[in-house]
Amino acid sequence: MCQSHEHESHAAQPQEVVAGADPTARDYTVKGMTCTHCAASVTEEVEQVQGVTGVDIDVQSGRVLVRGEGFSDEAIREAVDEAGYEVVNA
């Protein structure tokens, strides 16, 4: 069952930017996403992390590609958690 249908969406808190960070693209694997609604929930939360400029999600594989600069793995994990899912590999 799609977890996001059971959870209310909450805005993620702004995250601190890491000074001097280079533009980055990082892959994460997220557990539990099963539909486009799930992907939309994760995208909405991750896009609110300061420094994130783009998010691409492949629901079938659970792959989340995050682009931007100055964001931390911890900030992404917190945003995914806020959407009701879990990062299992970063």
According to DSSP, the residues that pair with 31 across neighbouring strands are 86
Domains of the chain: 23-89 (3.30.70.100)
Using alpha carbons, select from 65, 66, 2, 7 the residue that is nearest to residue 32: 2
Residue 11 has pLDDT above 90, yes or no: no
Which DSSP string do the residues of the chain spell out, in sequence order?
A: --GGGTS---PPPP-PPPTTPPPEEEEEEEES--SHHHHHHHHHHHHTSTTEEEEEEETTTTEEEEEESS--HHHHHHHHHHTT-EEEE-
Residue 1, pLDDT score: 45
If one compares 12 and 75, the residue with the highest pLDDT of the two is 75
State the residue for tokens 């931007």. Answer: 68
- Condensed to tens digits (0 to 9), the pLDDT of residues 21-77 reads 446 899 999 999 999 999 999 999 999 999 999 999 999 999 999 999 999 999 999
If one compares 53 and 20, the residue with the highest pLDDT of the two is 53
The pTM for the full model equals 0.74
